[in-house]
Amino acid sequence: MTNWLPTLDDGAGPLYVRLADRIENDIDTGVLPTGAKLPPQRNLAFDIGVTVGTVGRAYALARERGLVSGEVGRGTYVLDREDVAPGKPPTLPPLLAGTRGLSPPPGKLRLDSTAALEVGQSQAIEDLTRQIVRQHPEAIVNYVHAPSESWQEAGSRWLTAGDWRPSSQSIVPTLGGHAAILAVIAAVTAPGDRVAFERLTYSSIARSTSLIGRRVVAMASDGGGVDPEDFERLCAQQHPKIAFLIPSLQNPTLAIMSEERRRAIVDVARKHNVWLIEDAIYGAMLESQPVTLAALAPERTFHVGSLSKTVAAGLRSGWVSCPPHYAARILTTSKMLTGGKPFLLAELAARLVLSGEADAIRDKVRNELQTREAMARKAFDGCEFTSHPRAPFLWMKLPEPWLSGTFKNAALNENVLIDDEDEYKPVRTGDVHHRVRIAFSVPKSRGELDAGFTTLRNLLEGGSAGYDSYG
């Protein structure tokens, strides 16, 4: 253990940030060499005259920066920081990089993406873009200072589910669903606050949450979605400020939460004063959507949707419906984080929705997805998996002796990209599911997709003996 005793006289900002900065500086200058063990939190807090919580938050921030590793019972150690060659970008720590490469390898079949199917929507997009450029030449080259009423009306219409329709005044247009969710988290929490996620979820949001200094905690779920009892336990013990949920066609499990369970989740959130983010990006594929959390708890629910899975991912167009009096705050936060919504994309998304083109495209996407899901059920007949005719992926249980990561690597060797279960874990956990997610919206042709399914089926049947990992 090193006799490291930092000073916090220099720098600005909260003490925990200054301490994390000192850790980084001393690692860079060699004061803290690779493998050095940092002092126990309680000891360091006493030595430098701060609270144990301040040291804990500083160590957590250092871990988020990829500087140290820490395990209960072992301590906190300085990680090896490889020298970066000139012109070579640094390797991102796993916390930020996820399990996918920064760019997909060339020549691989992408069964790891759920972007909207290509169903000829480019023509409608081209026609509307031409109209916008002709009609608004000045707006195209200027900044957007405030959303137009038509953009908000489009968001209100697109987010409508069943009998629930959000007020247009509650709508904030954003650069896609991810940007909307991150803006909400940034707006209603502070650095160090806890944000609750399911133990399997869209973990890119969890990584983004950690990147802005919030603390990620996980709640249990099952085939019916979030477990209300475990959510209650988490709220009582760790006091999260906000919870991120995917109630319909959950990613990656495809669970659809019952109304009874949704009401139970809302009751817990009210009891413990927890904000809710309702990700409805996949739920928009359903013709008949269950009651929304926003309808049950409008005073605390941010309801998010986008065009990425249903119309065109490249449009980067989404909306968030906010609780009363929060739209202005979310709009400002979104602009600060992203620079704001470009006029062309916002106007194009609004016209697609208000003209009915977005609904027509979504219907074509739904129909093609139904065909492809049927292909998947046929290709993997006899295997254990979860799928839905309106979802662009399935959740496959691997037979013995396959492990999730091993199967992903074996598929990669056969030029097929899929996601292992670790891609969907927001925190380190001992849970093992032996599952992979297989998506099927990106391949251009059914023949190409069928060939990919055949490759994966052959791997499943061949077992790990068919996968040579030497070399």
| Structural domains of the chain ordered from first start | 15-83 (1.10.10.10), 96-119+359-466 (3.90.1150.10), 121-356 (3.40.640.10)
* CB neighbours of residue 278 within 10 Å: 28
pLDDT of residue 428: 83
pLDDT of residue 99: 67
Q: Which residue has the higher pLDDT, 373 or 23?
A: 373
pLDDT in tens, 310-360: 999 999 999 999 999 999 999 999 999 999 999 999 999 999 999 999 999
Q: In a 10 Å sphere around its CB, with 0-12 CB exposed, 13-18 middle and 19+ buried, how is residue 355 labelled?
A: middle
Residue 98 has pLDDT above 70, yes or no: no
Query: Which 3 state secondary structure label does DSSP give 110?
Result: strand
pLDDT of residue 382: 96
pTM, two decimals, is: 0.80
Of the CA atoms within 13 Å of residue 326, those in its CB half-sphere come to 20
pLDDT band at 70 (very low <50, low <70, confident <90, very high): confident
Tell me the backbone φ, ψ of residue 305, rounded to 5 degrees. Answer: -145, 165
Rounded CA separation 450/247 (Å): 30
pLDDT of residue 200: 96
Rounded CA separation 194/313 (Å): 30
Q: Which residue has the higher pLDDT, 39 or 469?
A: 39
Residues 383 and 460 sit within 8 Å (Cβ to Cβ): yes
Number of H helices, E strands in the chain: 17, 17
Residue 183 has pLDDT above 50, yes or no: yes
* CB neighbours of residue 333 within 10 Å: 19
Residue 81 has pLDDT above 90, yes or no: no
Closest among 395, 456, 35 to 249, alpha carbons compared: 395
Q: Which two structure tokens, joined as six digits, stand for 48?
A: 């430098």
pLDDT in tens, 246-291: 999 999 999 999 999 999 999 999 999 999 999 999 999 999 989 9
pLDDT of residue 12: 66
Q: Which residue has the higher pLDDT, 436 or 94?
A: 436
How many Å is the Cα radius of gyration of the chain? 24
pLDDT of residue 97: 52
Residues 403 and 421 sit within 8 Å (Cβ to Cβ): no
Residue 151 has pLDDT above 70, yes or no: yes
> Could you tell me the sign of the dihedral formed by the alpha carbons of 413, 419, 422, 423, in that order?
positive
Mean pLDDT for the stretch of residues 138-145: 92
Amino acid at 118: E
H/E run at residue 420: strand 419-420
The lowest-confidence range among 47-51, 101-105, 213-217, 432-436 is 101-105
pLDDT of residue 87: 43
**CA 93-94-98 angle, 5° bins:** 130
Sorted by sequence, the CB contacts under 8 Å of residue 22 that are 6+ apart come out as: 6, 7, 8, 11
Distance, CA of 300 to chain centre: 20
Mean pLDDT across the chain: 91
